[in-house]
């Protein structure tokens, strides 16, 4: 579990998708999400599935890995499907048993919603599979930069994400240590019902939080000592540059998705 949280789910490959600018990828994902919600025919979804397939191939990522990303959300997908099946009314009655009834519109909408969720998950996970968390943070900061004028704290958000990424493993490790120390003194984290389990976490969370605040204090001092004074006048070692490749990717995706949205 620890490993997955640490590095996100980034898989290093030498591909066009990996090399392209994180901003390009974020924008394409945004186009894609918009299209997913605009389309409402099955042929449209079929073509979208083709788009995901192409992108996956270009990223040199195993298709199975993409499909695996749906797994944690299977319950939500099934839940949406079932709710729509039985609750949405309209069209002919397809099936009935006592008070349970499935109508045509319910089946259609249920399937649409399930497909939309699946597409959203697979495509966004393609983003995190091909972009390292650091690049992602950088990309977001640059994308949000124009909105600084209306008060979006672009730099601060990015810095918070960077620090969170840095400290998640450290805090997890610490939580494990505290837990072991408590266990050694006879604490019981496993037995009992949900409420009892939650209560047994208090002696874990209190020291964890106190330490986290202490760490934050230390880190603030260290950052100030290294001349950190917010985003003003700060430069970056790795400057993001949009290459011809990025414009091409953006243009073709926009055309592909735009055509699908308009025609289908």
Partner 1 sequence: MPLIEIADLCYRYNQDQDWILKGVDLKVDSGEFVVIVGHNGSGKSTLAKMLNGLLVPDEGEVLVNGKATSREENIWEIRRQIGMVFQNPDNQLVANIVEEDIAFGPENLGLESAVIKKRVEEALEVVGMDKFRRNAPHNLSGGQKQRIAIAGILAMHPKCLVLDEPTAMLDPVGRKDVMTTVQELNQELGMAVVHITHFMTEALLADRIIVMDQGKIVLEGTPQEIFSQVDEIKKYHLDVPQLTELAFRLSQAGLDVSPDIFNVDELVEKLCYLKSKI
Residues that bind partner 1 (CB under 8 A): 6-7, 133-134, 162-163, 165-166, 169-170, 173, 214-215, 218-219, 221-229, 233-239
Cβ 238 to partner 1 shortest distance, Å: 7
Q: Is the CB of 6 or the CB of 87 nearer to partner 1?
A: 6
Q: Is the CB of 231 or the CB of 258 nearer to partner 1?
A: 231
CB atoms within 10 A of CB 169: 14
The CA-atom distances, in angstroms, between 91 and each of 19, 105, 109, 122 are: 49, 6, 12, 31
Q: Is the CB of 85 or the CB of 158 nearer to partner 1?
A: 158
Cβ 92 to partner 1 shortest distance, Å: 56
Q: Is the CB of 30 or the CB of 163 nearer to partner 1?
A: 163
Looking at the DSSP bridge assignments, the partners of residue 97 are 100
The conformation of residue 151, written as its DSSP 8-state character, comes to T
Q: Is the CB of 209 or the CB of 228 nearer to partner 1?
A: 228
243: left (phi over 0), alpha (psi -120 to 50) or beta: beta
Closest CA to 52 of 69, 77, 76: 69
Cβ 217 to partner 1 shortest distance, Å: 8
Cβ 207 to partner 1 shortest distance, Å: 16
Q: Which helix (H) or strand (E) holds 101?
A: strand 100-103
SS3 label, residue 132: coil
SS3 label, residue 103: strand
Cβ 214 to partner 1 shortest distance, Å: 8
Q: Is the CB of 197 or the CB of 234 nearer to partner 1?
A: 234
Q: What angle do CA 246, 250, 251 make, to 5 degrees?
A: 115
Rounded Cα distance, 32 and 53, in Å = 13
Cβ 168 to partner 1 shortest distance, Å: 9
């Amino acid at each position: 579990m620890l490993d997955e949280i640490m590095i996100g789910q980034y898989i290093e490959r030498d591909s066009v998708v990996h090399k392209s600018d994180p901003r390009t990828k974020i924008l394409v994902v945004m186009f894609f999400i918009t299209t997913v919600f605009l389309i409402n025919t099955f042929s449209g979804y079929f073509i979208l599935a083709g788009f995901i397939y192409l992108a996956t191939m270009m990223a040199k990522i195993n298709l199975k890995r993409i499909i695996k990303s749906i797994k944690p959300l299977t319950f939500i997908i099934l839940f949406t499907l079932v709710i729509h099946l039985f609750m949405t009314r309209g069209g002919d009655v397809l099936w009935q048993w006592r008070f349970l009834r499935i109508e045509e519109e319910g089946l259609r909408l249920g399937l649409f919603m399930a497909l939309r969720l699946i597409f959203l998950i697979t495509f966004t996970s393609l983003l995190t599979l091909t972009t390292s968390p650091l690049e992602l943070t950088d990309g977001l900061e640059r994308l949000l930069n124009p909105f600084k004028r209306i008060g979006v704290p672009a730099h601060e958000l990015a810095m918070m994400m960077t620090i969170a990424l840095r400290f998640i493993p450290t805090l997890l490790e610490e939580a494990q240590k505290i837990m072991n120390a408590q266990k050694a003194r006879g604490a019981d984290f496993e037995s009992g019902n949900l409420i009892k389990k939650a209560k047994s976490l208090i002696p874990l969370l209190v020291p964890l939080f106190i330490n986290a605040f202490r760490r934050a204090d230390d880190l603030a001092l260290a950052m100030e000592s290294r001349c950190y004074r917010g985003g003003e006048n700060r430069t970056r070692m790795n400057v993001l540059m949009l290459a011809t490749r990025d414009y091409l990717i953006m243009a073709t995706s926009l055309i592909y998705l735009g055509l699908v949205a308009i025609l289908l």
